[in-house]
Structure 1
């Protein structure tokens, strides 16, 4: 079986397991909220530190995070105005869904399967930009509308929520250790690595627990708008990269795939923490996973990127 298909099927299988254990009442969505909090304070921070430690920094590579940051900012800005007439609760979760990308869990295994470890250098740099967008912009926007729902916007409270977010703190810790070339004790690194590896199955199980395609009629159009924003911007990104970077290279090919990645699954724990509708977040994540896989497959084959 093709390696890319194998990775996707494993991902789908774990998510389906989460859905089934919920369907047969072994766990509930309430249990999912506890898992979300566990992830935010243990496996997510560990994954951030380990990912930052593995990057071999080169000056030209720092342009890649800027591409991701630009894409995230543009999509979020469009959503900010497009959903202006929605309630704060709905606007918050829809706007959050337009920012972050699913890089670590979805892109890493697929890109490694297609291009090997060489491709991971570029996707890791792209993930730095995505981390800044996810924990800096996306969470900030979500916090803004959550606080605004209470009747008064306290910007100090919003900034405090962002700064105290464990994955964001972990990212800066990892970058600092890497930049200063500090050698972590083997036991410490192994401890973090074990936690980081546990993040993937737990997040995929969480996705399955929240897996649902049931929406109120009033929400269907809003979900369609989010997907339209993301994939319209993604396709424009593909065209720009293909036209203005005509010479085939590993970096260009990896980035072409990265700009059409699905919605980041961090929106699930974010929606829980900020008391948004987790069903909308789950539907958006599930649909975008399927769309992105098909798009990535089509781009790799159609443009002969591999």
Structure 2
């Protein structure tokens, strides 16, 4: 366990480095947008290719896709019900933030440290279901409640899903795996080199986006949001951990997965739908810090020394 905690410490140092570079003016927060696009569209897809190209996908792993998708729908509608008395724009803002998890940027580097390649496989399958929530349900909720006369446009959502390079990579690589096609070794070798950059770049990006200042008037709304998201996630996660008849890695994935930070996609959504961007950004940062602490505690409790 000492080695694991040391790896966690390295993660914290890299995150802190990103934060200090921002505070020192060497890197600006807006630079994180370009770095984020590199991670989402290059390093993360290559990591998916390297992780999934030759693994044996068990039937139980497909259930992780369904679990990620159904949980997102469940907690999304629970949130809309609990926040039903809020103003329309607040309900839409909170409603789009509750479902969906930050797996590609936040979970992958930590899961790689905790569980290795096996963990990436499980969380990758969970992320496929999560992707439909992030780019589908969250987008629909944010769009619908942004203005009084907004109409849902399924075509827009479908187009957005098809343009998600990580999601399309998941689907293509899993299909290739199932039909037992071989990816050319040249592609795999190049992908492996690029994928090695995913963890440090993702951790640096988390540091760049960290912000410890916020408006005190946000506190009550933030506490309500965190209570819904983490309260429900903890109850469902613990229930799945003790009740489901699957292997430990499957149960670790659900328990930790339901307690991950809110998706980074809510930040561009807040711009597109004219929500309070400072509130969304601040609350996203809080979920990152809170989830980091929770995962460290869970990892120390669940993993044998």
Q: 2:168 maps to what in 1?
A: 169
Could you give the per-residue CA deviations for residues 165-218 of structure 1, whole angstroms, max 9, x where no partner exists?
A: 333222222222222222222222233333333333333323222211322233
Q: Is the 8 A contact 1:238 1:256 kept in 2?
A: yes
Shift of 1:236: 0.9
Q: Is the 8 A contact 1:64 1:126 kept in 2?
A: yes
Q: Is the 8 A contact 1:50 1:174 kept in 2?
A: no
Q: 1:32 to 1:238 in 2, by over 3 A?
A: closer
**Match runs of 1:195-274 below 5 Å:** 195-245=194-244, 249-268=248-267, 271=270
Could you give the per-residue CA deviations for residues 108-152 of structure 1, whole angstroms, max 9, x where no partner exists?
A: 45445445555554334333333333334334444555xx44953
Q: Is the 8 A contact 2:210 2:285 kept in 1?
A: yes
Q: Is the 8 A contact 1:99 1:134 kept in 2?
A: yes
Shift of 1:280: 3.5
Q: 2:31 maps to what in 1?
A: 31
> Separation in 2 of the partners of 1:74 and 1:172?
23
Q: 1:183 maps to what in 2?
A: 182
Shift of 1:228: 1.1
> Separation in 2 of the partners of 1:141 and 1:55?
36
Shift of 1:104: 4.3
Shift of 1:257: 3.3
Q: 1:64 maps to what in 2?
A: 64
> Separation in 2 of the partners of 1:287 and 1:238?
20
Q: Is the 8 A contact 2:108 2:199 kept in 1?
A: no
TM-score, with normalisation over the residues of structure 2?
Answer: 0.79
Q: Does 1:291 align with 2:283?
A: no
> Separation in 2 of the partners of 1:113 and 1:43?
17
Q: 1:152 maps to what in 2?
A: 150
Shift of 1:232: 0.9
Quote the RMSD (CA, aligned, Å): 3.4
> Separation in 1 of the partners of 2:286 and 2:9?
15
Structure 1: segments with no counterpart, 5+ residues: none
> Separation in 2 of the partners of 1:207 and 1:15?
6
Q: 1:73 to 1:276 in 2, by over 3 A?
A: same
> Separation in 2 of the partners of 1:277 and 1:190?
43
> Separation in 2 of the partners of 1:5 and 1:190?
30
SS in structure 2 of the partner of residue 260 of structure 1: coil
**Match runs of 1:9-158 below 5 Å:** 9-53=9-53, 55-84=55-84, 85-86=86-87, 88=89, 91-115=91-115, 117-144=117-144, 148-149=146-147, 152-153=150-151, 155=153, 156-158=155-157
Could you give the per-residue CA deviations for residues 48-104 of structure 1, whole angstroms, max 9, x where no partner exists?
A: 44444354211233222222222222222222334453453x555433332222334
Structure 2: segments with no counterpart, 5+ residues: none
Shift of 1:244: 2.0
Q: How many residues align?
A: 302
> Separation in 2 of the partners of 1:121 and 1:45?
13
TM-score, with normalisation over the residues of structure 1?
Answer: 0.79
Q: Is the 8 A contact 1:119 1:251 kept in 2?
A: no
